[in-house]
Structure 1
Amino acid sequence: MDEKPSTRKGPDFCSLRYGLALIMHFSNFTMITQRVSLSIAIIAMVNSTQHHGLSNVSTEEPLAETLNNPSRSFKKFNTGASVYEWSPETQGIIFSSISYGIILTLIPSGYLAGIFGAKQMLGAGLLTSSLLTLFTPLAADFGVILVIVTRTVQGMAQGMAWTGQFTIWAKWAPPLERSKLTSIAGSGAAFGSFIILCVGGLISQALGWPFIFYIFGSIGCVCCLLWFTVIYDDPTHHPCISVKEKEYIMSSLAQQPSSPRRSVPIKAMVRCLPLWAIFMGFFSHFWLCTIIISYLPTYISSVLHVNIRDSGVLSSLPFIAASSCTILGGQLADFLLSRNLLRLINVRKLFSSLGLLLPSLCAVALPFVTSSYITTMILLILIPGTSNLCDSGFIINTLDVAPRYASFLMGISRGFGLIAGIISSTTTGFLISQDSVSGWRNVFFLSAAVNMFGLVFYLTFGQAEIQDWAKERTITRL
């Protein structure tokens, strides 16, 4: 049976916990803009059609040749920015490199954040990512190898920042508000994707593509000041929280084990099928989402044949739907729970099903509607929007099954997702380099198949009860 959480009403949107959700929203906004900056900038960085009178060097230059002769990898663009000869395979590796970095730090950062506190670790990751964003244009001029290294280290910094958020929510979010609070914070990623894609093309045309990195790197540095000033690891140590709100949060979390853990039950976790259901959900979800985030501007530019400014604006539209669906999905999930209309596990499986099935249908339909500009855009808008319904499904399911280990397990979950992102980005670059039309069709069909695998696995094995290994340790050690 699901443990019944405290239903006593606490302060709502004027409360400090919603203020923290808003700050995390802007932190996630900052990190995703820094990650997606390259997706819109790369259209100008490799667009050989925008410069003339230059020697005819193939843009299909293999990665090995580019790596061995980095001085050959760029030419001067007439705005003062460089244009690089990066093949689709090379671009796929560059897009994947940030995921390599994230996956290296997700598990250890989640574990350490649970022990030492998340505030300092998240703030350091955000600051490092911001500084590396400022450095990216200079790295590109030194060659593709340094770009890959820079993006990998930036990924390590973002891995630190993403994971520890669930350590904070395990102590700040009352059970009946988890979907709502985490969706407000998580929607910053979709909103950030919308903003960077919307204005990135305009910045590139007006100032040159390096200013995309300079502007959003600077915004990240400013956001760090807000983070270190306002965020605290738990409500008991925050100097500005009201007594009423503190009592409400603490009483609502009283049924959950909260004593410091001294070891992680790895063997029990490995044998836990509900955890594997979450991991497979993340793998499937991240597969398609990474393709959309990384390749959407390229897809719109190549399929709809629009310039960088219009490509950026059109690419931003899907993330309006994504941001809206994240927040509305969280509101609806908590409404269903608070009114006892559905059990917790049914809510998690409902939103997981919607978040995996609907974007799969849209992806499968895309290759057949390329002749229709409007239909293509509608489907591209629906894919990120419906995908983000998963935020109220398996994405926060670790807070249900093992709240004491939420940050550690979120690190592992995102690790599975980022493995999928690495494979999908590299595979996409390879497939579209062979043949653009059939390549994109195979990319979307494969993504739909992966989504269906994850959905079936989660519906079969997903649970929402606190697992025995996540609660017995508190009882036996007291």
Structure 2
Amino acid sequence: MRTWDSDSEVEEEEDRSPLLGEQDVAQGNIQYRIPDKVPACCSARYNLAVLALFGFFMLYALRVNLSVALVDMVNSTSSQQVNSSASVCPDHSASPQVPRNTTGKKYDWDADTQGWILCSFFFGYILTQIPGGHIAGRFGGKLLLGFGILGTAIFTLLTPLAADLGAGYLIAVRALEGFGEGVTFPAMHAMWSSWAPPLERSRLLSLSYAGCQLGTVVSLPVSGLICYYLDWIYVFYIFGALGVVWFILWFFLVSDTPQSHRTISDSEKEYILSTLKHELSKDTDVPICAILKSMPLWAIVVAHFSYNWTFYTLLTLLPTYMKEILRFNVQENGFLSALPYFGCWLCMIITGYVADLMREKFNFSTVAVRKIFNTFGMVGPAVFLLAAGYTGCNYTLAVVFLTLSTTIGGFSMSGYNINHLDIAPSFAGLLLGITNTFGTIPGMVGPVIGKALTHDNTVAQWQVVFYIAAAINIFGAIFFAIFASGSVQDWAVGTKKAQRS
């Protein structure tokens, strides 16, 4: 148990905002208690995190499998120009011992068409971010998130048919997949605003959103194996079916809030509700003007946009880089493209725990933790991405630098990505919808720009792609370090009383 009953102790704890009762403490010398922490094992909040992890696993498995399958769907003669430049690395891949399947259909899509196919997902994705956040904040995120992933799974099952009908149909189906996935992150943030105690926030959100990296880790190599030994169409059939299975589990095992959960213990319910009761606003009106004027929110917007530029550039184009520059075959491509995201998954889990530990045990302020982790998570990837562009044909070093670039990006989960819940828990879903709308723009334009800049697939052309991503990342890190906050904002709790950050 912790108690506070002196002005000096109030001052010390206020700097770690937001914590239980901080607003009441800041207004006077009030003594209160934080209830004993309920163990994580078998708790409802950690069960939610694990189910969410598998949900975001499916979300990204359904999103990224096209990046690998597309390499196998396109005729090699139409997918690239013959290039005699010495800047292109020689083919080094060993000949596979098992003959690959060659019966899959091939399509004559040029590089520009492939770029539009890869980015079309984000044209639907951007439309449902803000509406998804608003709806989840008012009515709950469980069904919104569940049906979002279910819709994506169904359209994934229809992908082979759409490809057969033509590139336009495939682009339309991918846009509809994005439309369904667009509500998922805002819905999950809205759920965590009711489920995540402040001092467990980093680890719970890191655990659930680490499913994105895990889905990428599994989907990329497995998609490569399916393409190699079976047919690229089974990539979409297998992952689509798994998405439907996940939805059934989510529908029956998850609740929007601790109050509506059927099996949560009374002690855990009391613990969660007690730690959150002074953070959540009772007002139903959304303070739109105050939100749009909030510099801490714009700090998250800029950081989100900047980080996603590098993330989506690698997510959609790394398999192409592995094939056309580093000359790996389809089996190697899937495994090596997944390696960076395995590192990021581990980094997110570890740093989420460390971030909470810094706040709880070492009295770091919330804003200090967010800025430290965000700076590491954005500057580090920029440095190693640039380094990867100058490895030439040193395959080992290139893979190491690309892996480090994406791995270190996992620090940012405890930086800008969780900061919505710090500054406005009541509107976390809506805020994530706003920032993710801007964060989706790189996914829309990044693949198109990347493909346009790498028509000849030379090392020099890819260096330009990496330079652009690194510069944007560094700018986002600096902007967040200057303007970010760790306090619940006045407009988020309906009070004029300012809080320290």
Q: Same fold (TM over 0.5)?
A: yes
Cα deviation for residue 149 of structure 1 reads: 0.5
Cα distance in 1, alignment partners of residues 461 and 238 from structure 2: 34
Select the residue among 221, 225, 240 that pairs with 2:248. Answer: 225
1:408 pairs with 2:430: yes
1:238 pairs with 2:253: no
Deviations 1:182-223 (A, max 9, x none): 000011010110101121111111111110111000000000
In structure 1, stretches of 5+ residues that fail to align are 50-56, 61-76
Cα distance in 2, alignment partners of residues 291 and 270 from structure 1: 28
Paired residue type of 1:228: F
Paired residue type of 1:154: E
1:328 pairs with 2:350: yes
Deviations 1:93-118 (A, max 9, x none): 11111111111000001101111111
Cα distance in 1, alignment partners of residues 280 and 312 from structure 2: 35
Cα distance in 2, alignment partners of residues 85 and 13 from structure 1: 53
1:296 pairs with 2:313: no
Cα distance in 2, alignment partners of residues 128 and 372 from structure 1: 42
Cα distance in 1, alignment partners of residues 485 and 435 from structure 2: 15
Cα distance in 2, alignment partners of residues 19 and 448 from structure 1: 37
> How has the CA–CA distance of structure 1 residues 44 and 190 changed in structure 2, closer, same or farther, with 3 Å as cutoff?
same
1:35 aligns with 63
Classify the secondary structure of the residue corresponding to 1:82.
Answer: coil
Classify the secondary structure of the residue corresponding to 1:189.
Answer: helix
2:88 aligns with none
1:100 pairs with 2:115: no
Cα deviation for residue 283 of structure 1 reads: 0.3
1:46 pairs with 2:74: yes
Contact 1:28–1:189, Cα closer than 8 Å, also in 2: yes
1:429-440 correspondence to structure 2 within 5 Å: 429-433=451-455, 436-440=458-462
Contact 1:118–1:164, Cα closer than 8 Å, also in 2: yes
1:351 aligns with 373
2:145 aligns with 122
Select the residue among 13, 22, 31 that pairs with 2:41. Answer: 13
1:193 aligns with 216
Cα deviation for residue 48 of structure 1 reads: 2.6
Contact 1:59–1:86, Cα closer than 8 Å, also in 2: no
TM-score with structure 2 setting the length? 0.87
Paired residue type of 1:9: K
1:167 aligns with 190
In structure 2, stretches of 5+ residues that fail to align are 1-14, 21-33, 82-99
Select the residue among 285, 289, 292 that pairs with 1:263. Answer: 285
2:227 aligns with 204
Contact 1:257–1:474, Cα closer than 8 Å, also in 2: no
1:147 pairs with 2:147: no
Cα distance in 2, alignment partners of residues 380 and 356 from structure 1: 14
CA RMSD of aligned residues (A): 1.8
Contact 2:18–2:366, Cα closer than 8 Å, also in 1: no
Cα deviation for residue 263 of structure 1 reads: 2.1
Paired residue type of 1:178: R
Deviations 1:161-189 (A, max 9, x none): 22200111000000000100000001101
Cα distance in 2, alignment partners of residues 162 and 290 from structure 1: 16
Cα distance in 1, alignment partners of residues 80 and 125 from structure 2: 29
State the number of aligned residues: 452
> How has the CA–CA distance of structure 1 residues 38 and 474 changed in structure 2, closer, same or farther, with 3 Å as cutoff?
farther
Cα deviation for residue 438 of structure 1 reads: 2.2
Paired residue type of 1:23: L
> How has the CA–CA distance of structure 1 residues 292 and 217 changed in structure 2, closer, same or farther, with 3 Å as cutoff?
same
TM-score with structure 1 setting the length? 0.91
